[in-house]
Amino acid sequence: MAIPAISAHTTRTALRTAAGAFCATLLLAACSSGGGGQAGGSAGSGTPQAGSGTKVTVTETEYALKLSRTSFTPGTYTFVSDNAGKITHALSVDGPGVEDARTKDVPPGHDGTVTVTLKKGTYEVYCPIDGHKQMGMDQHIKVG
């Protein structure tokens, strides 16, 4: 018994269909993966949405932090880490009700954000990259 030959046209059509289905699957997976790499939480988690608070720019250089404001009242703030340095930095906020909220690692010339809700009290704003905090990238802010 002979096996029927498959035409080249049929093979090409089948390969195109399979490639199209594969690409559609990848696109669908990428669109539904969430992520983003930035701190901030989701709407249903009780954590503020990224970008939803009063903006505070924190300029990071080797090895210092400069905040765009010095006075804080309780509320939601989006800290924008502006890396004006020559090496990678990041930004972390710790204090009452906020623990280890941080940006992604921020390469030179880029920025990252972290949104937190600050209550009355003292908070530490610092670069969590190994050794940077000890070298001066550490500030305390008072909210009240």
Q: Could you report the per-residue pLDDT of 57-82, keeping only the tens digit for each? A: 999 999 999 999 999 999 999 999 99
Q: What is the pTM of this model?
A: 0.66
Confidence of residue 53 (pLDDT cuts 50, 70, 90): confident
How many residues does this entry show for the chain? 144
Rounded CA separation 104/91 (Å): 8
Do 93 and 125 contact (CB within 8 A), yes or no?
A: yes
Pairing mode, strands 54-61 and 75-83 = parallel
The answer to which of 21-25, 55-59, 106-110, 129-133 has the lowest mean pLDDT is 21-25
Q: Is the pLDDT of residue 14 over 60?
A: no
Mean pLDDT for the stretch of residues 118-127: 97
Do 102 and 92 contact (CB within 8 A), yes or no?
A: yes
Rounded CA separation 57/63 (Å): 16
The burial of 28, by beta-carbon neighbours within 10 Å (0-12 exposed, 13-18 middle, 19 or more buried), is given as exposed
